[in-house]
Structure 1
Amino acid sequence: MHIAYLTPEYPHKLSTASGGLGTSIRNMAEALVEKGEKVSVLIYGQESDQNFSESGIQFYHVKQREYPFGGWYFYRKHLEKTINKLIAEKGIDILETPDWTGITAFMKFSVPHVIRLNGSDGYFCELEKRQQKYKNRLFERSALKNADSIVSVSDFTGKKTMEIFDLKRKYKVIPNSIRIDDFQASIIEPVPGRILYFGSLIRKKGVLELAEIFNRVVRDNPEVKLILAGRDVVDIFENISSLELFKNKLSQNAIKRFEYIGSLDYSKVREELEKASLVVLPSFAEALPMTWIEAMAMEKALVTSNIGWAPEVMIDGKTGYMTDPRDHKLYASRILDLLEDSELSKRMGKAARELVVRKFSSKVVAERNIEFYQELIEKKDLN
C-alpha cells in the first residue's frame, strides 16, 4: 500500500517551521515504513520545489506560489494537479490531508481521500470563543463535506467539528501517537521542586492562567521553580508578547522563581522533561495534545486541564490530575500535592507511561491506520 500525506508542515531541516501536526505525521509515516508500507509526504507552502528521499519516505516540497488575484483558488488547483500527477505516476493508493484551512476545498482526487481532524480553524475559534472568518469556514466545511472519509484524533474533536460545521458525517477515532523509543522513562532523579511547561506560549494553552496558579504555588512553597519552554506568541487580544503578559501577572516572589528558556528542539525537550519533578499543561484548546503524551511516556506526573479531549488522554487521579485551569486555588493545590509526595508522583508517572505504551505508541496506532486505509481502498475498488 502506498500512502500519501499532504501537510503544511513537517519537522525537517529543509522544511519551514513545524509544530504538533507535523510531528504527528512524521511519527506515523516512519511507523508505517517500519511496517513495510510505502509513504510519500507532500509539504505545501514551501520556499522552493524539491524532491528527496529520507528514512524510507519520499518527500515532495511544493513551493508557495503568488497570483495577481484568486490565489486561494489557483494555488489549490496547482496542488490538485501536482497530487493527481503523483498518484498516477507513483501508484499512490490513498491520500490523507489535514482539516486546517480546508486546503482540499475544490479539489478532486482519483484515490480515496481522508481528512484527519487535528483541529481546524473553526474548531479552535469555537474553543477560544472567537468569530471565524466566513471564507475560512466555507473552505473547511467544503473540504470536510467532500472528503471520502474522516478520521479524528479524539472523539471530542470529531463531535465538536461536526457540530460547528453542521455536518452529519460519521468519523473514525484514531489518536495521534509518539515514538516510544524517543521518550523513554527518565533514568535520572528529577530536580526537586522543578515544574515544567512546554509548548507555545499562547493564551489558548492556559499560559496566562498558569501565572496566577504559580503565584499561589510560590506562596506555599517558595523553593519551587517554574520553567517555560516554547515559542512566544503575540497575544491575539492584546497584541503584545504572551511572555510579557505572563510576567506582568506574576507576583514579586513568583517572578524570581521563574525562567523562560525559549523554543527547544526535540532532544532539549527530553532533557528538560528528565529534570522536571512535575509537568503542568493547563490548555484550553487542543484536539489531542502531543505534549501530554510525550510527558506521560517519560513517566512524568501531570497536572492538566479537564476540558473536552482530556479524559481521552488522562485518567484523573491515576496518571496525574485533570483540573480546570480557571480554578487557580485547586490547580495550585494539585501541583503542591505532587511536589510534596514523591511516591504519589512516581506512581502516577508509571501509570501514565503504561497508558501511552498501550494506547498511543506509534506501532500500535500504525496498525489501526493500516486497517482503516485498507478498508477505504477495498471499498473504493468495489465501487
Structure 2
Amino acid sequence: MRHIVFICNELPPASSGGIGHFVAGMAQCLHIMGYKVTVIGMYYNKPYVENYPFNVIRLSRTRIKHIGPFFDCIRLQYYLKKLHKVQPIDVIEYPDYEGFGAYHFLNVPFVVRLHDSNFYTNGYFYGKRSLTLIMKWLQQALSIYRANIVVSVTDSVLKSVRKLVLIKKHSVIPNIVFDCYPVIKRQEFSTNRILLHVGTVSKLKGCDIILNSFLEIAHEFPDINLYFVGRIHYYELIEKVEKASMINRVVFLGERSRSEVNELLARASVCIFASERENMPLAWIEAMNMAKVLIVPNIPVATELVKNTIDGFIVNRTIKDYIDSLRYIFNLSSIDLATIGLKAKASVSEKYDMNSVVMKNIELWSAISKS
C-alpha cells in the first residue's frame, strides 16, 4: 500500500472538530513515514488551505436543495476516478457522515470510519426528519453496508450501528492524540482558574447544562472563569450571560487555532463536557493527555474512556448533578486535582499510544488493499 485517500470536509483551517484534526494528524504521520496521502473535501466555499506536506484537494459543493448531496457524491466519485488514472489509489477512507461510499464505483477497496453519532446513537435515527437528512441517512447506511471494512472508534458505537445496518467486516481502533501540533504561542489570560469546554457551542453538546450549572455556583468560587471554545450555534447562551452580568466570568472565544486550543488546555484547571451523544471525542482524550481533570456526561462512551472518580468524573446530564460535581471538584486541593489529572494522562497514554494506533490503521489498510 503506497497511496491512501481520505475524504474529509473538516480539514483545518476549515470549520473543524475532532474529525478534521484526526485526519490532519493521521495524514501527517503517514506522510512522514513515506506514504503518499491525499485528502479530499467538499465545501460550499473553498477556504484558505494551510501549507500541508501532503496533497489537499477541495471540491465545490452543489447548491441544489434536497438532491444536492446526491450530486456531491457523484462528483466526488468522478474526481476519484480521474485521480486514480494519474496517481493509482490503494485505499480510500470515507467518513460515515453523508454516505459518500454509497456511490463508490472505483475498483479500489474502501474503509468507512464511524464518526457521526447523530445518526445511530443507541440504534436510533436522530435529527430533524427533513428529506435531505433522510437521504443522507440512507446514503450513510448503504455506504457502511458496502464498505470492505468498517472501523469504529469504540465498542459501544459499533453495537449501535449493527442494530441498524448489516456490517460485513469490522474493526475497533480508537482515536488518538497526535504529538505533531504547532508550537504553542503564549497569550494573556485572566489569572483566575479556568473551567474549559472545547467543542461546538450548541444544545446538543449540553452547553446550556454547563452554563446554568456554572451560574448557580459562580458566586461560591469567584476565582473561576468559564471558557467556551468552538463554533457558536447557541447564541441564546450569550444573551443569558449578558443578562446575568457575567460577561467577565463567562467567555465565548469562538473557533481558535490548534495552538490556541492547546494553550487553553494547558491553562485550564478542569475540562467540562455534557454532550447528549458522542462516539470517541478527541477533545476528551486531548484533555486527559494534558493531565486535566475531566467532567463528562453519563453516555455509553464515557465508561470506555474514564474510570469514574479515579481519572475523571462521569455525571448524569442534569444541572443538579453537574452542580454537585463542580462543587466537589473545586473544593479539592491542588494536589488531589493533580493526582487525578496524572492518572488520566497515564490512562490515555496506555490506551491511545500514537505509534501503536497508527500502525494498527496501516495494517488494516494494507490488508484490504491486498484483498
TM (normalized to structure 2)? 0.86
The residue correspondences of 1:268-307 to structure 2 (distance < 5 A) are 268-307=260-299
Q: Which residue of 2 aligns with 1:354?
A: 346
Q: Kindly indicate whether residue 6 of structure 2 is the aligned counterpart of residue 5 of structure 1.
A: yes
Q: Is the 8 A contact 2:120 2:126 kept in 1?
A: no
Structure 1 residue 174, shift from structure 2 partner:
0.9
Q: Which digits, 9 at most, give the CA deviation of each residue in 1:285-310, with x for residues without a partner?
A: 21111111111111111111121111
1:242–1:152 CA distance, 2 compared to 1 (3 A): farther
Structure 1 residue 177, shift from structure 2 partner:
1.7
Structure 1 residue 129, shift from structure 2 partner:
5.1
Q: Distance in 2 between matches of 1:231 and 1:25?
A: 19
Q: Kindly indicate whether residue 169 of structure 2 is the aligned counterpart of residue 177 of structure 1.
A: no
In structure 2, the residue corresponding to 1:104 is in which secondary structure?
A: helix
Q: Which residue of 2 aligns with 1:90?
A: 87
Q: Distance in 2 between matches of 1:127 and 1:170?
A: 21
Q: Distance in 1 between matches of 2:180 and 2:64?
A: 45
Q: Which residue of 2 aligns with 1:157?
A: 157
Q: Distance in 2 between matches of 1:320 and 1:22?
A: 26
Q: Distance in 1 between matches of 2:220 and 2:286?
A: 29
Structure 1 residue 111, shift from structure 2 partner:
1.3
Q: Distance in 1 between matches of 2:271 and 2:182?
A: 15
Q: Which residue of 1 aligns with 2:144?
A: 144
Of residues 31-40 and 264-273 in structure 1, the stretch that sits farther from structure 2 once superposed is 31-40
Q: Which digits, 9 at most, give the CA deviation of each residue in 1:106-157, with x for residues without a partner?
A: 2222111110000154236977954444322221111111111100111212
1:259–1:71 CA distance, 2 compared to 1 (3 A): closer
Q: Which residue of 2 aligns with 1:335?
A: 326
Q: Distance in 1 between matches of 2:354 and 2:301?
A: 19
CA RMSD of aligned residues (A): 3.3
Q: Which residue of 2 aligns with 1:218?
A: 218
Q: Which residue of 1 aligns with 2:78?
A: 81
Q: Distance in 1 between matches of 2:101 and 2:295?
A: 37
Q: Is the 8 A contact 1:119 1:157 kept in 2?
A: no
Letter in 2 for 1:243: L
1:30–1:275 CA distance, 2 compared to 1 (3 A): same
The residue correspondences of 1:20-99 to structure 2 (distance < 5 A) are 20-45=18-43, 47=45, 54-55=52-53, 57-65=54-62, 70-99=67-96
In structure 2, the residue corresponding to 1:97 is in which secondary structure?
A: strand
Q: In the comparison of the two structures, how many residue pairs are matched? A: 364
Q: Which residue of 2 aligns with 1:317?
A: 309
In structure 1, the residue corresponding to 2:300 is in which secondary structure?
A: coil
Structure 1 residue 25, shift from structure 2 partner:
0.6
Q: Distance in 2 between matches of 1:199 and 1:111?
A: 34
Q: Which digits, 9 at most, give the CA deviation of each residue in 1:24-57, with x for residues without a partner?
A: 11111112222332211112236469999832x1
In structure 2, the residue corresponding to 1:261 is in which secondary structure?
A: strand
Q: Distance in 2 between matches of 1:20 and 1:114?
A: 19
Q: Is the 8 A contact 1:232 1:243 kept in 2?
A: no
The residue correspondences of 1:238-257 to structure 2 (distance < 5 A) are 241-244=235-238, 247=241, 252=244, 257=249
Letter in 2 for 1:194: I
Of residues 63-72 and 303-312 in structure 1, the stretch that sits farther from structure 2 once superposed is 63-72
Q: Kindly indicate whether residue 351 of structure 2 is the aligned counterpart of residue 371 of structure 1.
A: no
Gaps of 5+ in 2: none
Q: Which digits, 9 at most, give the CA deviation of each residue in 1:5-33, with x for residues without a partner?
A: 11222114xxx433221111111111222
Q: Is the 8 A contact 2:119 2:125 kept in 1?
A: no
In structure 2, the residue corresponding to 1:180 is in which secondary structure?
A: coil
TM (normalized to structure 1)? 0.84
Give the share of equivalent positions with the same residue, in percent.
Answer: 26
Q: Is the 8 A contact 1:42 1:60 kept in 2?
A: yes
1:305–1:120 CA distance, 2 compared to 1 (3 A): closer
Q: Distance in 2 between matches of 1:69 and 1:282?
A: 32
Gaps of 5+ in 1: 235-240
1:129–1:102 CA distance, 2 compared to 1 (3 A): closer
Structure 1 residue 316, shift from structure 2 partner:
1.6
1:24–1:64 CA distance, 2 compared to 1 (3 A): same
In structure 1, the residue corresponding to 2:212 is in which secondary structure?
A: helix
Of residues 67-76 and 195-204 in structure 1, the stretch that sits farther from structure 2 once superposed is 67-76
